[in-house]
Structure 1
Amino acid sequence: MVKIGNNEIGEFPLLLAPMEDVSDPPFRAVCKENGADLMYTEFISAEGLIRDAEKSVQKLDIYDYERPIGIQIFGDKIESMREAAAIAEAAQPEIVDINYGCPVKKVACKGAGAGILLDIPKMQKMTEEIVKQVSLPVTVKTRLGWDDSTIKIVEVAKRLQDVGIQALSIHGRTRQQMYKGVADWTKIAEVKNHPDIHIPIFGNGDIDSPEKALEYKNKYGVDGIMIGRAAIGYPWIFNEIKHYLKTGEKLEGPSLTDRVNVTRKHLDFSVEWKGERQGIFEMRRHYTNYFRGIPNFKPYRTQLVNLETHAEIVDLLEEINEKFQEVYAVV
């Protein structure tokens, strides 16, 4: 059983990666229902939390059904990160997570996210201060390095373990790669299989099928897998992987009704959480993903992203469920 602090998260846990503008409570709700073992919030700006910025504070919202859950923070100033960790702990998650992996220019080029991989001593010191600040388990999400010439992920893992983190998630790309190319899991395996590493190591990058999850589990020996982009519009991937790891058989994919029902749940929660106007607006980015692969769907997607009331969208989803049943059956 894999544990982070006192939190048991499964024999081979599947984690939902923290994704900006994606991993909000409505999305986490459908992922948890479909088998995610541990989830993280969107990354939250330390400076935003300290200034009590509305957008940052709202990201602290967590719900009992999500537990165990980690709140992820990012920033480039040690004192700010220490203060933000205390604010995050007060929101009562199970875990405080540090983002040392975000590759986006406005974050990384200011020395936060993956930018701190260029200053490993500062990374170690910042982590140490956060571990001292909070009583909750502290975990870290990072990348292999800034670029191919700065990959020191084994050293990073040992240093972070030494100052008290209780799990490490590694995305198998450098910051320079962004999301291009192929994730290098051999470097993740070097960390997991190093004799001095004793904390759980989770691999992240390119896992988009049950077959690949099993292959990488066996090949690289990680303690669990973190899934990001493959879960967008397809939260069923968690249970599909679990079933395949247990039985060697693939579950049948979601029916059209399954897709409509999950979209409806996601929409309902989005409206409940953010209010009708904002909830509908933020839901618009998800429709293409939920109905990907259905022929001649574009006119309906256009309607979905243009409708302005919850009731109208619900009616359209019901129409989609009826109209596309026969078409979807032969896709």
Structure 2
Amino acid sequence: MAISIGPINLENNVILAPMSGVTDMPFRRLVKRQGAALVISEMIASQALIRESRKTLKMIMKTPEEFPMSVQLAGCEPEAMAEAAKLNEDLGANIIDINMGCPAKKVVNGYAGSALMKEELKAAKIIEATVKAVSLPVTLKMRTGWDDNSRNAPQLAKIAEDLGVKMITVHGRTRCQFYNGRADWDFIAEVKNSVKIPVIGNGDVKTEEDAKTLLEKSQADGVMIGRGAYGRPWFLNQVSHYLKTAQKLPQPNIFAMKDIMIEHYQEMLSHHGGEYGVRLARKHLGWYSKGLPNSADFRSKVNLMDDADQVLSFMTQFFDQCIDKELSRMAA
């Protein structure tokens, strides 16, 4: 199922979620190459972007192959959000996404992220200022509400639509749930019924069947995948294929996994630099190795390594050992 976000038409309805410390340019490029319809940057603080810190500007760097690429902004001041959105438009962003779903305390304590769901008037001012500041499509990501007593996502979605937002994404939990319990996919249907613009469902999609069930229960137009893509940049393509054909694509074999992981690692080093790139890569290496023979030992050792070449040699050795075991199994 194709989705239109203003003038931008997506090739399918499976989207990569914005994830702090994860959806940097190397990961976005990799997931996009694997078949995601849309990739979204890490959450960017609007004030930090206005100050144009080197780290923040690196977070919004993009490449043509990522098109369409969305930049997610967070903030509590309409003027700052508008200025940050305009800056991103000037830097070549294709879509601006407003974060009203982040549950992190440091974000909420600054009255941004999901804290804005408690103040609909303030949220509306931020949305209005952002939409008016740019000619790009503006989207909104939020939760079902602050807590079980204030699940106001349908009302806020309608406000956003009336102010010009072109797509809504709903994570099926309240802020107070953080990531505990189960995402309420049924409640997302209430948001879908309140607006005419596309609605995307998010939360707990770890298998192809999860995506299908989410869409059936929520009646959403598409699915956004976050943690389900950890160590599986190919997962979004598997979901898209399954939704179209009801057939599952096979998992990448160990040879393909090795190539993907090494490519990802090297792109992280190139983008972030050796020392910082190695630190950021550790979590990805852990996710890639999950379920493989001796993966716990691999993770414990690689997490202590700081030298980029040493890490590359060790991960190559680890995967070569996995390949040898697979070849022995196939020959038996």
TM beyond 0.5: yes
For 1:260, the equivalent position in structure 2 comes to 258
Match of 1:277 among 270, 275, 278: 275
For each residue in 1:14-51, what CA deviation from the matched residue of structure 2 results, as whole angstroms up to 9, or x when unmatched? 11000000110111122112211101100101110122
Identity %: 36
| DSSP 3-state at the match of 2:88 | helix
Cα distance, 1:328 vs structure 2? 5.1
Cα distance, 1:263 vs structure 2? 1.2
**Quick check: 1:294–1:328 contact (8 Å CA) kept in 2?**
no
For 1:325, the equivalent position in structure 2 comes to 323
Q: RMSD across aligned C-alpha pairs, in angstroms?
A: 1.7
Cα distance, 1:280 vs structure 2? 1.4
For 1:5, the equivalent position in structure 2 comes to 6
Cα distance, 1:317 vs structure 2? 2.8
User: 1:246 and 1:76 mapped to 2: Cα distance?
Assistant: 39
Cα distance, 1:215 vs structure 2? 2.0
For each residue in 1:283-331, what CA deviation from the matched residue of structure 2 results, as whole angstroms up to 9, or x when unmatched? 112111001012322332233333334333333233222211254576x
Aligned residue type for 2:212: L
| DSSP 3-state at the match of 2:121 | helix
User: 1:222 and 1:26 mapped to 2: Cα distance?
Assistant: 29
Match of 2:303 among 302, 305, 311: 305
Bigger Cα displacement from structure 2, 59-68 vs 249-258: 249-258
| DSSP 3-state at the match of 2:145 | coil
Bigger Cα displacement from structure 2, 68-77 vs 308-317: 308-317
User: 2:65 and 2:27 mapped to 1: Cα distance?
Assistant: 13
For 2:158, the equivalent position in structure 1 comes to 158
| DSSP 3-state at the match of 1:225 | strand
User: 2:273 and 2:109 mapped to 1: Cα distance?
Assistant: 34
Cα distance, 1:53 vs structure 2? 2.1
User: 2:236 and 2:287 mapped to 1: Cα distance?
Assistant: 16
Cα distance, 1:254 vs structure 2? 2.1
For each residue in 1:91-115, what CA deviation from the matched residue of structure 2 results, as whole angstroms up to 9, or x when unmatched? 1111011100000011112210000
Match of 1:239 among 225, 229, 237: 237
> Is residue 2:222 matched to residue 1:221?
no
Bigger Cα displacement from structure 2, 171-180 vs 319-328: 319-328
For each residue in 1:78-129, what CA deviation from the matched residue of structure 2 results, as whole angstroms up to 9, or x when unmatched? 1111111111211111101110000001111221000001100110111011
Aligned residue type for 2:157: A
Bigger Cα displacement from structure 2, 310-319 vs 200-209: 310-319
For 1:60, the equivalent position in structure 2 comes to 60
Aligned residue type for 2:300: T
| DSSP 3-state at the match of 2:42 | coil
| Distance change (3 Å), C-alpha of 1:78 and 1:328 | farther
User: 1:306 and 1:273 mapped to 2: Cα distance?
Assistant: 21
| DSSP 3-state at the match of 1:22 | coil
Q: How many residues align?
A: 328
**Quick check: 1:192–1:221 contact (8 Å CA) kept in 2?**
yes
User: 2:174 and 2:245 mapped to 1: Cα distance?
Assistant: 34
| Distance change (3 Å), C-alpha of 1:320 and 1:128 | same
User: 1:99 and 1:136 mapped to 2: Cα distance?
Assistant: 16
For 1:177, the equivalent position in structure 2 comes to 177
**Quick check: 1:29–1:266 contact (8 Å CA) kept in 2?**
no
Summarize the alignment of residues 1-331 of structure 1 with structure 2, pairs less than 5 Å apart: 1-10=2-11, 12-194=12-194, 197-327=195-325
Aligned residue type for 2:20: E
